[in-house]
């Protein structure tokens, strides 16, 4: 992506002191033409529903959408352990003299700018009249923003002294769970930090990705409308996610099922 190599102070260098490093691993049922035969009305007066062809088309679209979301979920799961995360000591060296809240503000500012840049870049690419490229652009934006937000979530937990315990895969699962729930993690409950990417976590990730996909569609509007929409929507969504996570961390890292 165009913004892949871009770095700012808030995102920081590829410091891996706390990184999650890699681990092994149409409907055809159109209305009848005017003058054509009128379909009979059943005796109960209920108008006939869509024909089997339109129902089959809807099922095919639904199946393709489910396959797309599942594949996108696996991409985000693969991404999570590879996100470079700075530990709290590195952050304080990079931003000396800042309080916890001031440091968190810096991280959020950098993440919202990065998410906005991803949205603007993808929205600008949608200006090209190449419809087959749009699914790829949609994937690039969702995965790109997920990477920015996973990094932000992990570093906010560092700043507030709530780093997820466990090994690489356990921390990856914890921050993925936080991203899917848009909440802070419960470091005092190891059961919530299971390294296994179980069915429940995958379902929550799929719901989050489906929601993000629907919100990202306006970014693919033609001309510069999509670029502007992408920047504004991504900045807003990332800022809202950060505020929810910070609220939990300030309160002692409450979990995704708490009020």
Write out pLDDT tens, residues 164-217.
988 878 888 899 999 999 998 876 554 444 444 567 888 899 999 888 877 766
Convert the pLDDT of each residue in 58-98 to its tens digit: 777 778 878 888 999 999 999 999 999 999 999 999 999 99
Residue 40 placed within a domain: no
d(CA 106, CA 159): 11
Reduce the DSSP state of residue 82 to 3 states and report it: helix
Convert the pLDDT of each residue in 216-229 to its tens digit: 666 555 544 555 66
Q: How many domains does the chain have?
A: 1
178: its two tokens:
């936080």
- Domain carrying residue 141: 75-250
Query: Which residues in 77-111 are b (16+ Cβ under 10 Å) and which e?
Result: bebbbebbbbbbebbbebbeeeeeeebbebbbebb
Residue 164 placed within a domain: yes
Residue 25 placed within a domain: no
Residue 239 placed within a domain: yes
Residue 173 placed within a domain: yes
Q: What is the structure's pLDDT at 24?
A: 41
User: What is the average per-residue pLDDT within 37-50?
Assistant: 50
């Amino acid at each position: 992506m165009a913004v892949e190599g871009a770095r700012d102070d808030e995102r920081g260098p590829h410091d891996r002191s706390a990184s999650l490093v890699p681990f092994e691993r149409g409907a055809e049922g159109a209305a009848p033409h005017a003058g054509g035969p009128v379909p009979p009305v059943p005796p109960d007066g209920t108008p006939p529903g869509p024909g089997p062809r339109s129902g089959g088309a809807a099922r095919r679209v639904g199946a393709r959408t489910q396959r797309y979301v599942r594949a996108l979920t696996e991409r985000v799961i693969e991404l999570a352990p590879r996100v470079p995360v700075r530990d709290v000591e590195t952050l304080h060296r990079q931003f000396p003299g800042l309080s916890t809240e001031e440091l968190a503000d810096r991280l959020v500012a950098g993440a919202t700018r990065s998410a906005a840049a991803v949205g603007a870049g993808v929205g600008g690419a949608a200006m090209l009249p190449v419809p087959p490229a749009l699914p790829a652009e949609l994937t690039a934006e969702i995965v790109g923003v997920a990477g920015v937000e996973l990094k932000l979530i992990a570093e906010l937990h560092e700043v507030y002294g709530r780093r997820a315990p466990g090994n690489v895969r356990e921390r990856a699962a914890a921050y993925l769970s936080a991203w899917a729930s848009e909440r802070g993690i419960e470091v005092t409950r190891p059961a919530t930090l299971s390294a296994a990417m179980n069915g429940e976590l995958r379902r929550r990730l799929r719901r989050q990705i489906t929601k993000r996909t629907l919100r990202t569609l306006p970014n693919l509007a033609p001309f510069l409308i999509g670029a502007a929409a992408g920047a504004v929507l991504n900045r807003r969504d990332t800022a809202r996610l950060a505020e929810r996570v910070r609220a939990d961390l300030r309160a002692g890292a409450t979990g995704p099922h708490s009020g």
